[in-house]
A = this chain, B = another copy of it.
Amino acid sequence: MGALDEGHFHEVLENGVELEPPQGIEGQPETLAIEDAVKVLLQGLGEDINREGIKKTPLRVAKALREGTKGYKQKVKDIVEGALFPEAGLDAAVGNAGGAGGLVVVRDLDLFSYCESCLLPFQFKCHVGYIPSGQRVVGLSKLSRVADVFAKRLQDPQRLANEVCSALHHWIKPAGIAVVLQCWHMHFPSLESFLMESNSQGWLKVLVRSGTGAFENDKGGSWSDFFSLLKFRGINIDNFLAEGSIASWCPSQSWSSLKGSSINGQLNSGMVTAVDSILRSLGEDPSREELVGTPVRFVKWLTNFQNTSFEMKLNGFVYGRGVDSLKANGEPGVNHKQEQLQTEVNLSFWSQCEHHLLPFYGVVHIGYFGFNPIPKSLLKSIVHFYGFKLQVQERLTRQIAETVSSLVGGDVMVVLEAGHTCMISRGIEKFGSSTATIAVLGRFSADPNARAMFLQSLPNSSTALGPS
């Protein structure tokens, strides 16, 4: 069984704590190989790899990827074995701690994994249940630790559920194991789809489950018991996809049907080879069926953030379309107070964190004083053009403000609210956190009331900032 074939694990893990401390990753041959590959990717995007903001990006990406796939080196046995506790059962004959239907369920464990199809992290909530047997129970935190062993690999949801389930069954030997995962994959749209004004953003959700023992044949109503406890969290059994039907849950499967990358017709073969090298350095086999197309998909996606072709498009687009007609209304001598506060809120954006090569996404709110509103389509174009490159949120906020300022003459305020993938898939793993940045120009800098007027108009919503 795949999940239990641990012959390739070459490091011992004691109680969920890796023997190889994180700082040991730096300088190892695998880490250096990934760093070299990331440099190739950055250069393929037209970036200067010695630029201050990204010169440490190869190391950051390498560490994140190795830490995010450390599950390949972890042993479930060592996590579980020290945490099995004797516990008398209600029914001595059956040996189940809570009687024949006595479930133990740990719910709402926030975890993340890496999608094997596109190499982006995906977030999931894990719910694990088991029916204790043999007069013993397992420490509750171990269910989370074991799930994390398989999450910290390149995965797809159903395999992940199956592997967690099989491993727990093998080591705990209960009367049954149930695993339910609610998974969210980011639906990262391409620049082209944004230009076509299609609404392809948001989150792809799948619900998968896996069961052993009493949950395999399900004659005794065990799944029904389990779902009754999960229903509090909004899970409905009708929402489960049949096993095997989610081969294409990752949106990269449709990216690969695009002709080449979104901007270039040609893929950079050096970049594809670099991703192949990354997979090898993580201990994966790039010829594994599910991974064969991954390097091409990852490069196609990454090419959305190519630096060069991009500025050109923005120049051609924004300045040819908006400036003159808007400026014509800004007649000299007209008192500012006759201008109105114009707002455009909740424009969605997607961007790529240049420190970690990971997406951040959310909404932009733009306020400015002017006689006429700027067309929403123009503001959207500005947001997307500056979003589709290697960025930091602070700079993106400023660039949008400066560009809008050039259209309306200086009184501009921009608020960005974003979820950052690197806040969950790096060391701090802060699920549910979000970041807001403000840029202010002209009247908004000097006048707190102007800022307050705009801020009070912002919607009280954060659904765009992450799956929840």
Residues of A in contact with B (beta carbons under 8 Å apart): 14, 16-17, 19, 21-23, 52-53, 56, 82, 85-91, 97-110, 132, 137, 139-141, 144-145, 148, 220-221, 224-225, 228-229, 231-233, 355, 392-395, 397-398, 401-402, 415, 417, 420, 422-423, 426-441, 444-446, 448-449, 451-452, 455-456, 458, 460-462
Contact B228 A100 (CB under 8 A): no
Inside 8 A of A141's CB, which chain B residues have their CB? 422-423, 426-428, 430
Contact B392 A423 (CB under 8 A): no
Contact A452 B224 (CB under 8 A): yes
Smallest CB separation, A463 vs chain B (Å)? 11
Q: What are 16 pairs between A and B in contact, CB < 8 Å?
A: A21-B21, A90-B441, A101-B440, A101-B448, A101-B451, A102-B438, A104-B393, A105-B437, A108-B432, A140-B393, A141-B423, A144-B430, A228-B456, A228-B458, A229-B455, A232-B460
Contact A448 B392 (CB under 8 A): no
Inside 8 A of A394's CB, which chain B residues have their CB? 87, 97-98, 102, 104, 132, 137
Inside 8 A of A139's CB, which chain B residues have their CB? 355
Inside 8 A of A225's CB, which chain B residues have their CB? 438, 448, 451-452, 455
Contact B100 A432 (CB under 8 A): no
- Nearest to A353 among chain B residues (CB) is B140
Inside 8 A of A148's CB, which chain B residues have their CB? 428
- Nearest to A82 among chain B residues (CB) is B56
Inside 8 A of A108's CB, which chain B residues have their CB? 430, 432-434
Contact B109 A430 (CB under 8 A): yes
Smallest CB separation, A179 vs chain B (Å)? 15
Give Cα A53–Cα B109 distance, bound, in whole angstroms: 25
Contact B90 A401 (CB under 8 A): yes
Contact B448 A221 (CB under 8 A): yes
Contact A52 B451 (CB under 8 A): no
- Nearest to A454 among chain B residues (CB) is B228
Give Cα A326–Cα B365 distance, bound, in whole angstroms: 65
Looking at the complex, which one of B19, B23, B85 makes contact with A52 (CB distance below 8 Å)?
B85
Give Cα A173–Cα B20 distance, bound, in whole angstroms: 35
Contact A90 B437 (CB under 8 A): no
Inside 8 A of A456's CB, which chain B residues have their CB? 228
Smallest CB separation, A335 vs chain B (Å)? 23
Task: Given A19-B23, A436-B229, verify A90-B355 contact (CB < 8 Å).
Answer: no
Task: Given A232-B460, A437-B98, verify A53-B455 contact (CB < 8 Å).
Answer: no
Contact B140 A423 (CB under 8 A): yes
Inside 8 A of A393's CB, which chain B residues have their CB? 104, 140
Contact B427 A16 (CB under 8 A): yes
Looking at the complex, which one of B104, B402, B417, B448 makes contact with A220 (CB distance below 8 Å)?
B448
